Amino acid sequence: MTQATQETSRRKGRAGGRQARVAQRQAPLAQDLRPVQAGMEGGWYKPLTEAGVQRIHTAALDALEEIGLADAPPSGVEILTAAGAEHGDDGRIRFPRALVEDMLSVAARDITLYARDPQFDLHLSGNKVHFGTAGAAVHIVDLENNDYRDSTAQDLFDAARLVQNLDNVHFFQRAMVCRDVLDNFDMDVNTLYASCSGTTKHVGTSFSEPGHVSGCMDLIHMIAGGEDAWRARPFVSNSNCFVVPPMKFAEESCETMEMLVRAGMPILLLSAGQAGATAPAPIALAVVQAVAECLAGVVYVNAITKGHPAVFGTWPFVSDLRTGAMSGGSAEQSLLTASCSQMHKFYGLPGGAPSGITDAKLPDMQAGWEQGINNVMAGLSGLNMVYESVGMHASLLGFCLESLVMGDDILGQAMRCVRGVEVTEDTTSLDAMKEVCLGGPGHYLGSEQTLSLMQTEYVYPAVGNRMSPKEWGEAGKPVLLDTAIARKNEILAKAGRQIDPELDQIIRDRFNIYFE
């Protein structure tokens, strides 16, 4: 073999080895090796002092004893008074401290929100963080026309299919209203079925009327393979606005909640006051009201079935006090959400709150900073369920599929912040420094340690652009939104339906399904 042939052979060997290493790095990592994953522990950020937490708790108990909640349905009055609440002459239900404390002692902790695919189960305990969607947007952000249009059942199905294929979006709660479905029962059915057809991750939904629960539970039992299978692993939770802030029960939602508790469905006890409008303007007092309302929900649920799985859903929002309009992307929203997370930990209850909402109308720089800041703070606070974290624009009025795809990158970076820095004997060993500095190449590029940590220590964007200006120019100067559109289309082209075809046809024969 000539010297030239030997050199060619060596180059091919090096290239083949490099190509093999690149292919190995690009292959999907095992779940336990991924640098970020659902349920990583936060809890580093605490906006409230210990004294502040105690003061909010005391004020919430005072509010329940002295103000109470109005407008409980007759069934709720019966349930709550039988448990020890007081029904006043003014019609308000008041909650003695001892009753609240008793119900807190039996409330479910360390719960699991199941998914149809067990790999996506959400274990809600301590400071474990999970990001997902939520909301009831009435529009889709149409990037082709830079405009808003009515959202449809097909849009909801497409959003669920995207979430199924986005690693950093851990659950799918109904994100938009199916405005092409005019009948309310059909709307509830399509909302539920579009979500379950699109993803095997945990699904959250809501119901327009108590009378719709029975038919929707029939659909759920069909998907689960029977009522017993459903009760063993309930993979749908009910997002239940059981209160109308300030301090009033929502009669029909309460009746729905009662039925669903008995049907075995986990409940998100959702209090969604708006600071300066339906909640007090001081951030601390807005938290007090939300905590008081959700504590009333804890009593309510556990008076029906002790230890029923429920998420403490303090969702106070922010008003722009100049106009009264909602401001979901504000710094004040971050503080409200993180403060609520701290209160969840005080009670030791699984909790959820909103974050990642943007006031921007399009996925632009404003949307990026609002989503990034809010989601990082929510994650660092150790919030168990971060709702509305991706895709939500115009303060919950619009949902954007491309923004959902780009938001997966944001959540990956947020979760990397949640993971923090591991300081161990291995990560502080000087061996790698000695190899490089004492007679070595003087840099760490290509070192064994660097290559071994490329995938397990570092997170890389799927859509975000890290090219140099020269590379960017040579690649045709790609625009972020165009890349997001391409990835969205690529996912949807491959994403199937997560329901067996035979069962799907049976369901379509029984119910009016509006999406393909």
- Give the per-residue pLDDT at 8: 53
pLDDT at 64 over 90: yes
Residue 8 lies in a domain: no
The most distant pair of C-alpha atoms in the chain lies apart, rounded to whole Å, by 104
CATH number at residue 208: 3.20.20.480
Hunting for tokens 């075809």 — which residue is that? 501
**Is the full-model pTM beyond 0.85?**
yes
Task: Out of 156-170, 275-289, 435-449, pick the least confident.
Answer: 435-449
- Give the per-residue pLDDT at 465: 95
Give the pLDDT band (50/70/90) at residue 12. Answer: low
- Give the per-residue pLDDT at 23: 59
pLDDT at 21 over 90: no
464-483 mean pLDDT: 96
pLDDT at 293 over 80: yes
Nearest to 277 by CA among 320, 336, 330, 339: 320
Count of other CB atoms within 10 angstroms of residue 351: 26
Residue 291 lies in a domain: yes
Average pLDDT, the chain: 94
- Give the per-residue pLDDT at 3: 55
Residue 471 lies in a domain: yes
Residue 430 lies in a domain: no
CA distance 351 to 311: 5
Percent residues over pLDDT 70 in the chain:
95
pLDDT at 43 over 60: yes
Give the pLDDT band (50/70/90) at residue 9. Answer: low
Q: Which helix (H) or strand (E) holds 13?
A: helix 3-26
Q: How many domains does the chain have?
A: 1
CA distance 18 to 29: 18
- CB-based contacts of 43: which residues, under 8 Å, 6+ apart? 126, 127, 345, 380, 381, 382
Q: What is the tens place of the pLDDT at every residue in 406-439?
A: 999 999 999 999 999 999 998 999 999 999 999 8
Residue 22 lies in a domain: no
- CB-based contacts of 398: which residues, under 8 Å, 6+ apart? 137, 139, 140, 141, 148, 361, 392
Nearest to 271 by CA among 209, 343, 346: 343
Question: What are the φ and ψ backbone dihedral angles of 401, each rounded to 5 degrees?
Answer: -65, -40
Count of other CB atoms within 10 angstroms of residue 247: 23
Hunting for tokens 């809600």 — which residue is that? 124
- Give the per-residue pLDDT at 32: 76
Task: Yes or no: say if 410 and 368 are a contact pair by the CB < 8 Å rule.
Answer: yes
Q: What is the tens place of the pLDDT at every residue in 188-236?
A: 999 999 999 999 999 999 999 999 999 999 999 999 999 999 999 999 9
Q: What is the tens place of the pLDDT at every residue in 334-363?
A: 999 999 999 999 999 999 999 999 999 999
Residue 1 lies in a domain: no
CA distance 293 to 230: 29
Nearest to 371 by CA among 353, 386, 396, 390: 390
Buried b or exposed e, range 191-226, using 16+ CB within 10 angstroms: bbbbbbbbbbbbbbbbbeebebbebbbebbbbbbee
pLDDT at 442 over 80: yes
List Cβ<8 Å contacts ≥24 apart for 21-25.
Answer: 21/451, 25/454, 25/455
Residue 30 lies in a domain: no
174-185 mean pLDDT: 98
- Give the per-residue pLDDT at 455: 87
For residue 267, the SS3 value is strand
Q: Residue 184 corresponds to which amino acid?
A: N
Residue 27 lies in a domain: no
CA distance 485 to 402: 6
Q: What is the tens place of the pLDDT at every residue in 451-470?
A: 888 889 999 999 999 999 99
Range of the domain at 221: 35-420+439-516
SS3 for 199-262, per residue?
CCCCEEECCCCHHHHHHHHHHHHHHHCCHHHHHHCCCEEEEECCECCCCEECHHHHHHHHHHHH
Q: What is the tens place of the pLDDT at every residue in 492-507?
A: 999 999 999 999 999 9
Strand order in the sheet with 139-142: 147-150, 139-142, 398-399, 392-393
CA dihedral sign of residues 177, 180, 185, 190: negative
